Structure formats: C-alpha cells, structure tokens
C-alpha cells in the first residue's frame, strides 16, 4: 500500500487537503489530493512520475513524499518528525529551512 504525504509549513507530513495536526492547507496539498484521486483505481502504486502525469505541479511535488507500507493497517495519516539525518548529520527541525515557499 502506498500513501502520498504533503509537507506542511510546520514540517508535518500528512495525507489529505488539511493537516490534521494544525489545520494547515495549501494549493499544493489540494493539488496532491486531486492527483491521488486520479490515480486511484489505476493500480496500487502512487509514484511521483504518475502524480506528475496526473497534473500535479513541480511545486506540489517538492512538498510530496510517497511511502510504501507492507499492509494498509500500518499506514498513518500524519507524522511529526523531530528532525532528520542529512549527509550523516542530525538536524533538529528548528534548524531547517522550508524546502519551498
């Protein structure tokens, strides 16, 4: 099972039009939802290239992460990471800039 997540300005990843943690929404999250809707029924895979072909813009794709789960029961609606390891170095969220405007 694959799930497409949008990155909100508070650095949460979520599925849907609105972040369930803080209510944030954008044109990018709405666009991603519409792109995923177009892919449903075509097969289980949601790949970035498929989303691009469905009309999702590059700006929206810059905020998108696709995760494949072993079973649908292990999928989640949102995640709030504390930070990331980038190029071998731990970066707390408060030290990171947004990937796009």
In a domain, 34, yes or no: yes
Say what the pLDDT of residue 41 is.
74
Q: pLDDT tens for residues 43-66?
A: 657 789 999 988 999 999 999 999
Rounded Cα distance between 87 and 23, Å, is 31
Is residue 57 one of the residues assigned to a domain?
A: yes
Q: What is the pLDDT of residue 91?
A: 87
Lowest mean pLDDT among 14-28, 39-53, 58-72: 39-53
pLDDT of res. 6: 96
Would 100 be classed as within a structural domain?
no
Look up the pTM and report it: 0.83
pLDDT for residue 100 is more than 70: no
**What is the count of structural domains for the chain?**
1
Give tens-digit pLDDT for 72-99: 899 999 999 888 888 999 988 777 765 5
Compute the 3-state secondary structure of the chain and give helix, strand, coil in percent, each to the nearest 5: 30, 25, 50
Let me know if residue 82 belongs to a domain.
yes
Residues 65 and 42: their CA atoms lie apart, in Å, by 20
In a domain, 101, yes or no: no
Question: Rounded to whole angstroms, how far apart are CA atoms 28 and 56?
Answer: 8
- Domain hosting 85: range is 2-95
Residue 101, pLDDT score:
46
């Amino acid at each position: 099972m694959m799930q497409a997540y949008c990155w909100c300005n508070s650095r949460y990843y979520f599925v849907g039009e609105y972040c369930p943690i803080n209510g944030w929404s954008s044109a990018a999250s709405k666009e991603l939802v519409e792109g995923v809707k177009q892919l449903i029924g075509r097969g289980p895979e949601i790949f970035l290239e498929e989303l691009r072909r469905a009309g999702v813009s590059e700006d929206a794709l810059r905020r998108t992460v696709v995760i494949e789960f072993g079973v649908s029961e292990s999928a989640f609606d949102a995640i709030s990471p504390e930070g990331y390891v980038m190029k071998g170095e731990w970066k707390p969220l408060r030290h990171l800039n947004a990937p796009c405007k």
